[in-house]
Amino acid sequence: MEMKNLKKGLVVVAGLALLTIGLAGCSNSSDNSVKNIKDKGTLVMGTSADYAPFEFPIVKNGKKTVTGYDIFIAQQIAKDMGVKLKITNTEFPSLITDLKNKKVDIVLAGMVSTDERKKQVSFSDSYYKVENVLLVNKADENKYNSISDLKGLQVGAQQTTTQEQIAKKQIKNATTVTEANANSLTTELTQGKLAGVVLENEIADNYVKQYPEKYAIAKNVKLSTPESQQHINIAVRKDDKKLLKQVNKSVKELKSNGKMDTFLAKAQNLQAKYGK
């Protein structure tokens, strides 16, 4: 009888020990994401600075830098971690690969959390919501009464973006022309090589605000934006769960203290003043 209880007790103790080891393994495992960043003293952000007001180059006091809404958010995340921010500027199509290959720690690039991307990386809580529109030359403002009026024409979209998918799926009777850099698209639009460029509303509005004599939004060309392509988020590697938690903490704080809105307004002002 006593022997049996002793055995039972031992089994319970052994079980608890295993459970403890298991739990410790779960919480620490190999996720040193936050520790690594703190150790190197720098948070490396990947972006594609062709997307005002989210990220764009400016020349201020003779110095060229990258600034914008996403940069201000990343600066705050770095500050909350007690480290410096380093910006790595590259083309949008390379960003997810750069993140997976550990060239950068996080990606902020006006990137929406599509289902395909979610298979490859993790996304933070969303900090902005978008729709899609067609940007055209000012002279063509009232030329297109519907999507079908674009028949046989060329429509631009940035490579690997949700705009490329929307252009191909929704403007079927036009040819989609893609470029790795979003700025090339508006250049081609101005040159008359493209009839329009599919862009998110915030970006298109920005072009119109900056160059009202050059661009307009084709109001009657109604594109729809699927729910999975509406939310802009910050991307981190799937394993970096602690970093994701840290990022979400900063995002939550920025939303509740109103700084998220301030950052966007600040980015728009800087673009109007120093952007080219």
Interacting residues toward ligand ARG by CB under 6 A: 48, 50-51, 55, 92, 109-112, 158, 161-162, 182, 200
Q: Where are the beta strands (DSSP E) in 151-255?
A: 154-158, 175-179, 196-200, 215-217, 231-232, 235-236
Residue 223 phi, psi dihedral angles, 5° rounding = -100, 145
Whether the CB-CB separation of 52 and 68 falls below 8 Å is answered with yes
Judged by beta carbon, residue 158 or residue 268, the one nearer ligand ARG is 158
CB of 139 to ligand ARG, least distance (A): 26
CB of 14 to ligand ARG, least distance (A): 51
Whether the CB-CB separation of 153 and 197 falls below 8 Å is answered with no
Judged by beta carbon, residue 161 or residue 271, the one nearer ligand ARG is 161
CB of 117 to ligand ARG, least distance (A): 8
Judged by beta carbon, residue 111 or residue 254, the one nearer ligand ARG is 111
CB of 156 to ligand ARG, least distance (A): 13
Judged by beta carbon, residue 92 or residue 207, the one nearer ligand ARG is 92
CA 111 – CA 249 distance, rounded (Å): 19
The amino acid at residue 168 is K
CB of 200 to ligand ARG, least distance (A): 6
Judged by beta carbon, residue 99 or residue 109, the one nearer ligand ARG is 109
Judged by beta carbon, residue 110 or residue 196, the one nearer ligand ARG is 110
CB of 45 to ligand ARG, least distance (A): 12
Whether the CB-CB separation of 170 and 210 falls below 8 Å is answered with no
Cross-strand bridge partners of residue 51: 55
Whether the CB-CB separation of 196 and 135 falls below 8 Å is answered with yes
CA 74 – CA 128 distance, rounded (Å): 14
